[in-house]
Structure 1
Amino acid sequence: MVTETVVKIKAQYSQKMKKGNPIVLKDAIVSTDHLEAEGMIIRLVDEQNQFIGKGYYGKQNKGFGWILTRKENEPINHEFFHNKIMKAVQYRKPFFQDKETTAFRVFNGEGDGIGGLTIDYYDGYYVISWYSLGIYQFKEAIIEALTNLVPYKGIYQKKRFAEDGMYVEEDDFVTGERGQFPLIVKENGANFAVYLNEGAMVGVFLDQREVRKAIRDQYAKGKNVLNTFSYTGAFSVFAALGGAVKTTSVDLANRSRSKTIEQFSINGIDYEAQDIVVEDVFHYFKYAVKKQLLFDLVILDPPSFARSKKVTFSAAKDYTKLLQQAISITADDGVIVASTNSASFDMKKFKGFIDKAFRDSNKKYKILEEYTLPDDFKTIKEYEEGNYLKVVFVKKVK
């Protein structure tokens, strides 16, 4: 069976962990000397040797492991994983029954009780993402639990961790039948082409479902829309379906053009009537200012960190500056959809970025509505960083 060892937690971290925070930070551990193989069961105690919780050792960018149970005598075995996944599947029952949406998250890491693990559903296919070698050691038990609990066409996996110093973005077919790609899934009645066999990113970010719906149903009609950091053009598709006069999708990746054309096409939208620009977004902003272009709806959904040949972008440091550039090409009474998936700051601080950007631009604004993660991306209040998505619809007031 998996090796178990006692890990002592420093006083300044133990109280927060006792209250339910599940992450085991490297700095919280008194000594890491006895942590050998990832996947070890760790029994966490405070400096007075009082039990805190039990979990596993696994290194990822967030920490050194996760607490899985607060019950001292609960074994972490096949039954444990079966029960966690069963509860998660039951929680998503309404999603499984929705014929208009056939892609959603089934298991969301610490929100469902197992940090470092996510499972997504794509019309009968499941994609398991492992975020550390530690959780990957429980692969057999987790896959067995999933296959025993749900009907499935096929299962894929993504290894999202460093192995021998190399970051692995590997896709593996696991079991069932191999998919025929693109696989067409539905989201609120719209179509998305996804590729479960093309590395870590399959073609759509499921956490933005409610935001896309709002754009289509409330904001796009009759509008000239700019979608920056557009990836495969998902926001542009929903804007076009919502009656946008025109969409402009801008992304630096060469493949964004063909991917965006594909997403438009499977929704019956004439992609030639839309603009698809392969360019650094920051360069595009300068071009738009020079050409005096104005947009009624601007979507800003940058990665938390990005680097091009000339620009390095960090959401925590540079989002205000990015917003200022967006404000300069947004028409009066236009709307900016300001979005970030950075877990390094909260909604209050994000709204501070928005306020500073408008004040520095000498412009007034009004917050129309805001979004965080949808229901299938379950989170817990004891781990606020897990609720990473922050989206604010901001109106530029005359």
Structure 2
Amino acid sequence: MSGKRILTVAQKAVSHIKKGDPLLAPLSFDEEVIFSEGELVQVVTPVGQFLGEAYLAKQNKGIGWIYSWEQGESFDYEFFLEQFKRAKSVRKSLLHSKSTDTFRLFNAEGDGIPGLTIDYYAGYAVFSWYSEGIYLYKEDIVSAFREVFPAVKGVYEKRRYHQDDEDASGFIYGEKAPSPHYVKENNVLFATYLDEGWMTGIFLDQRHVRLDLMSTYAPGKTVLNTFSYTGAFSVAAAMGGAAHTTSVDVANRSLEKTREQFEINGLSPEDHRIHVMDVFDYIQYAKRKDMKFDVIVVDPPSFARTKKRTFSVLKDYSAMVEDLIDISSDKGMFILSSNAATYKRKKFRSDLEKAFRNKGIDYSIVKEYGLPEDFTTVKANAASNYLKVFVVQKH
């Protein structure tokens, strides 16, 4: 492309890029890179060997992405069209599923357009833009999407590089979704809200975990769902025949949202417990009451701050599991999850095992989950495969 700037990466970054890692970080270069958001550049080695075509944009992962390994490839409507066609072809089974109509339709660098994800909610789509740089290509991206996915009735967007939640969400085209908009996952209904800030009401990356909770782990059991958000794990457990569920989340909205999820599935919220309460305070309360749970689900935010305490998965997960062991039944099962990309799988597993060792409890890891198949990843970029879930059985 005439006029495109050539950027030389540091020698230490060459091997990562050649392995297929598309992320360009500040440390990928020997000197600070000054750039305009969305600027297209060509990336080369210190000896001038072509590595990739890239766009530059500031986001939490770095300062840019290689979008193509083919020299001279444009970042335009035709390029986006091909990426969407490919993404659609690998999701044929989900697009025609009778039991599930909500999933990740397009997953950023895993599907060929870094910095953009698209989630599907029963006929509607939600675009998430992760940098101002990728947002500058919105017109061509949306046009290509409409060409490939004409059946999508309406599209919303989340500008996740914005700090202000109120300005983060918007409507792009088509007809607006009802509010709430009911979607189906493994034949369980969930109420979603596509235009209410950053969140919609369900985290789609836990689909397989919820299915196994419903079909295998929960039937006949008492289930504690910590950091429960809108109660998706609780509802899945109840639909699978759990004897009882308890949902705990500090957010005031969690009570109303969780009740709603039970009700739309024909379940009475009164048959279950929903606490608006700090999870750590609840654990101490449960200890005092000598409460025990057969299955404990833990899917915390990477970082959280309340009036009483600050929680970080990197520092506090292991100690939290030790506390939860005290309120588990004799053969209790734990579904332990983290979506923090900085919390590496090896460290996460080590922290979990440390908790059980410190309590003198025998255990076994009965299953491990990563991202579902619709959350396509780039193998060379470990951060893109962020989800880690271990199912641990207490003996």
Partner of 1:29: 29
> C-alpha displacement at 1:33, in angstroms?
4.6
Q: 1:18 to 1:128 in 2, by over 3 A?
A: same
* Mapped partners of 2:65, 2:359: distance in 1: 43
Q: Check if 1:380 corresponds to 2:347.
A: no
> C-alpha displacement at 1:233, in angstroms?
0.1
TM-score by length of 1: 0.96
* Mapped partners of 2:284, 2:63: distance in 1: 42
Q: Quote the RMSD (CA, aligned, Å).
A: 1.5
Partner of 2:84: 85
The question of whether the paired residues in 2 share the 8 Å contact of 1:160 and 1:168 is answered with no
Amino acid at match of 2:54: G
The question of whether the paired residues in 2 share the 8 Å contact of 1:2 and 1:40 is answered with no
Aligned length: 394
* Mapped partners of 1:3, 1:382: distance in 2: 30
Matches within 5 A, 1:1-398: 4-35=4-35, 37-150=36-149, 151-162=151-162, 170-397=168-395
* Mapped partners of 1:73, 1:33: distance in 2: 22
Amino acid at match of 2:245: T
> C-alpha displacement at 1:380, in angstroms?
2.0
Aligned partner of residue 344 in structure 1, secondary structure: coil
Amino acid at match of 1:4: K
Aligned partner of residue 76 in structure 1, secondary structure: coil
Report which stretch shifted further, 287-296 or 3-12: 3-12
> C-alpha displacement at 1:46, in angstroms?
1.9
TM-score by length of 2: 0.97
Identity among equivalent positions (%) equals 47
* Mapped partners of 1:359, 1:245: distance in 2: 29
> C-alpha displacement at 1:318, in angstroms?
1.3
Amino acid at match of 1:111: G
Deviations 1:53-77 (A, max 9, x none): 1111111111111110011111111
* Mapped partners of 2:200, 2:192: distance in 1: 5
* Mapped partners of 1:289, 1:90: distance in 2: 51
The question of whether the paired residues in 2 share the 8 Å contact of 1:44 and 1:52 is answered with yes
Amino acid at match of 2:190: F
Name structure 1 gaps, 5 residues minimum: none
Name structure 2 gaps, 5 residues minimum: none
> C-alpha displacement at 1:84, in angstroms?
0.7
The question of whether the paired residues in 2 share the 8 Å contact of 1:161 and 1:169 is answered with no
The question of whether the paired residues in 2 share the 8 Å contact of 1:3 and 1:41 is answered with no
* Mapped partners of 1:353, 1:312: distance in 2: 18
Aligned partner of residue 83 in structure 1, secondary structure: helix
Amino acid at match of 1:147: R
Deviations 1:266-300 (A, max 9, x none): 00011011100001111111111111111000000
Deviations 1:91-132 (A, max 9, x none): 111100002101011111111122211001111101100000
Aligned partner of residue 250 in structure 1, secondary structure: strand
Report which stretch shifted further, 277-286 or 5-14: 5-14
Amino acid at match of 2:88: V
The question of whether the paired residues in 2 share the 8 Å contact of 1:3 and 1:40 is answered with no
* Mapped partners of 1:167, 1:40: distance in 2: 26
The question of whether the paired residues in 2 share the 8 Å contact of 1:101 and 1:187 is answered with yes
* Mapped partners of 2:237, 2:392: distance in 1: 17
